[in-house]
Structure 1
Amino acid sequence: MIVGIIGCGSITRFRHAPEYRANPSVKEIVFYDRNPERAEEMKQLFGGRTASSLEALLQDSTVDAISDCSSNEAHYIHTTKALQAGKHVLCEKPIAATVEQAEKMVRTAKETGKLLMVDHNQRFTKAHQKAREILRAKELGEILSFQTTFGHSGPEDWGATKSKETWFFKKDRSHSGAAGDLGIHKLDLLFYLLDDDITNLHSYTATLDKTDENGQPIEVNDNVVCILKTAGGSIGTATFSWTYYGEENNSTTIYCQEGIMKIYQDKHYPLLIAKKNGENIYYALEGIQTNTNQTNSGVIDAFIHCIQEEKKPIVSGEDALKSLRLLEEILQQNEERM
């Protein structure tokens, strides 16, 4: 199988390209970036070849699948064109800048018969998968409440430019700030773990500390706090931040009738169950992937497997659209207050 990658920033360098190279079914990677030097750099690091233009990449009949690792505002354009060109697509999150765009992307995948998967990678960790299994089996009874958090020091420490000029800080490119960068992961995770719809939310977004290259507050949020209620009646909170200037926090707590489930809070035990009767159960699973600890996410392997076996992806376009609708509601609530 030959795959193409659109966009050669940090997400390609640290996740997509090395995971494709490690997959035995992938014979070659073709890189494209509007900055040719970046594509050439990826070729030097991971082998393969470069495409001279987006059109050349998409018209290449040897390319079976595409990773869309472009910036948020371009996902709709690139992924739609790739699907129409007969390629299977793994699109980075969020699936699109708007719900309307995402709906068209999902529709295009159905019309072309090509697989559309979205990189909500939290569904692929062993701790989250085990947690979902326990919750679905009702081993702790019904879910009562929950807390989830995703925060780190911001994209200027992670992005390709390592500067305040990052596209993540620009509204016309990022669109949704920390909410779309980090929050969308946790919204998808809540749907995955709770197996329930979120029917009501109250949210606050703010730009508390981040400044751009001119020293002005960035155009998008750097912090978000949400209160959520599910159709089944459980309530909880979700917080997303680019201003956690110490250790990254990517944790979740689920409070149930018979105990508490703690996910990615203990360094030695990524999943810990504290039961109502005083019993503790420790699961020594792998640690979660972070910006400073890059491990195989499992996303690329799953994408290739779904293509080969003609299976529905673990995170479909419809799944991603569901989370994006919730994200848009979070942003709209705060626009209405302004």
Structure 2
Amino acid sequence: MRVGLVGAGRIGESHAAAVAARPEVEELVVADADAERAREVAGRVGAHVAGTVENLLRPGAVDALVITAATSAHAELILAGVRAGMPVFCEKPVAPTVDETVRVLREVEEHRALVHIGFMRRFDAGYARARQALRDGELGELHRVHAVTCDAAPPPAAYIPTSGGLFRDCHVHDFDVLRWITGREVVEVHAYGANRGADYFTEAGDVDTAVAVLRMDDGVLATVQGSRYNGGGYDVRMELAGSAGTLAVGLDDRAALRSAEEGVAFPGKEPFREFWPRFAPAYEAEVTAFLRAVREGGTSPCTVADALEALLVAEAAERSRREGRPVRIEEVRP
């Protein structure tokens, strides 16, 4: 199998290494708007260089396309791959806006194309275990969910104005995995935000700290909280509490918290400082799943339609934060 990869930035290089390591991949071809960066990444992972993005997107150039370019380029690259008859894997998001995402969804559905959007938490062992436990009845009837996503340190100032904001950029992962684990839909969001750090968040109209209460279609309440600043480390967790028990995802020896209770040494290891080491196995697993679907003619494990639903929750959260009121998902649905 020949795989093309567009986007040789930090996450692009990590994905390139994961793809190149797969035994079914005979050749990886890398393209980037920065030709020198593409050559450097290709050299480090043992790949070839496409020369230009246009070369890579020619019909028949590769058997599958992986997109790890800038967010603003995702939509057109997905559609270029689909029009060329290629199965496509694209890092989230599909597009920066709901309308653009809907446009991509319609064309993907018209072509009946295989498009896998990269929400890696679906491939994390802990989240998968929680999903199965809930389905097996191990937790009884679900009563509440709590999710946490906190960065150890904020992104660079230049990134924030183009990020889409904390809910769309960061908490969209919580919204997606909440839908995936529970099998239910969010119907209403009430969100709050604050700025406790650098001024560039306020200047961009964004926040660095957020809390949201989500009401699910079966009445279950979920809370999501997060921050761009977490001195304890990179902290991503989820608790699912049911009538028969409570299960926690991410509560291991590298959890970014400490106990105030005397004599408690847990957790005992250094916490993660960023996302890739925490989710490296999940990233590798989602690449494997995509390539398997390409090889076997399977379906996408995370569709453009799934990505749209998570984005709608993020849109509702952002509107709620700005307007200071609960927002129903139907208010933001096109």
The verdict on a shared fold, with TM-score over 0.5 as the criterion, is yes
Residue 160 (structure 2) pairs with residue 169 (structure 1)? yes
- Quick check: 1:39–1:50 contact (8 Å CA) kept in 2? yes
SS of 1:250's partner is strand
Answering whether residue 293 of structure 2 is matched by residue 310 of structure 1, we say no
Distance change in 2, residues 1:318/1:26 (3 Å): same
Give the share of equivalent positions with the same residue, in percent.
26
Which of residues 308, 314, 328 is equivalent to 1:321?
308
**TM-score, normalised via structure 2 length:** 0.85
Q: 1:202 aligns with which of 190, 200, 206?
A: 190
Q: Residues 230 and 216 of structure 1: is their aligned pair in 2 closer, same or farther, counting only changes over 3 Å?
A: closer
Q: CA deviation at 1:196?
A: 1.0
- State how many pairs are aligned: 307
> Is 1:152 paired with 2:140?
no
Unaligned runs of 5+ in 1: 157-162, 270-286
Q: One-letter code of the match for 1:169? A: I
- Once residues 314 and 49 of structure 1 are traced to their aligned partners in structure 2, the CA distance between those partners, rounded to angstroms, is 28
User: Where do 5+ consecutive residues of structure 2 fail to align?
Assistant: 256-271, 326-334
Quick one: which amino acid aligns to residue 325 of structure 1? L
1:164: how far off?
A: 3.8
CA contact (8 A) 1:210 1:218 kept: no
Give the corresponding residue for 1:253. 239
In 2, Cα distance between equivalents of 1:205 and 1:76? 29
What is the CA–CA distance in structure 2 between the aligned matches of 1:88 and 1:95, rounded to whole Å?
15
Kept in 2, the 8 Å contact 1:93–1:184? The answer is no
Mapped contact 1:203–1:226 kept (Cα < 8 A)? yes
Instruction: Give the TM-score normalised by the residue count of structure 1.
Output: 0.84
Counterpart of 1:91 in 2: which secondary structure?
A: strand
Displaced runs of 4 or more, over 4 A? 215-219
Give the 3 Å change call, closer, same or farther, for CA 310–265 of structure 1 in structure 2: same
SS of match in other structure, 1:251? strand
195, 201, 224: which one aligns with 1:238: 224
* Deviation string, structure 1 residues 161-202 (Cα, Å, up to 9, x no partner): xx543xx312xx32x233233211111110011111111110
The aligned counterpart of 2:259 is none
Q: Distance in 2 between matches of 1:154 and 1:65?
A: 35
Q: Give the corresponding residue for 2:83.
A: 84
Contact 1:83-1:112 at 8 Å conserved across structures: yes
Is the Cα contact below 8 Å between 1:151 and 1:242 reproduced in 2?
Answer: yes
1:220 is the counterpart of 2:219: no
Structure 1 residue 255, shift from structure 2 partner: 1.1
Which residue does 2:98 correspond to in 1?
A: 99
Preserved CA contact (<8 Å) 1:179 1:223: no
Please give the secondary structure, in 1, of the residue aligned with 2:148: strand
1:332 pairs, out of 308, 319, 322, with 319
Q: Secondary structure at the match of 1:191?
A: helix
Per the alignment, residue 37 of structure 1 pairs with 36
**Inter-partner Cα distance in structure 2 for 1:32 and 1:119:** 19
What secondary structure sits across from 1:265 in the alignment? coil
1: CA distance, partners of 2:85 / 2:189: 39
Aligned AA (1:264): G
> Alpha-carbon deviation of 1:140?
1.9
Kept in 2, the 8 Å contact 1:164–1:211? The answer is: no
SS of equivalent residue, structure 1 residue 255: strand
User: 2:280 maps to which residue?
Assistant: 295
What is the SS of the residue equivalent to 2:30? Answer: strand
Asked whether the equivalents of residues 92 and 119 of structure 1 are also in contact (C-alpha less than 8 Å), the reply is: yes
**What's 2:260 paired with?**
none
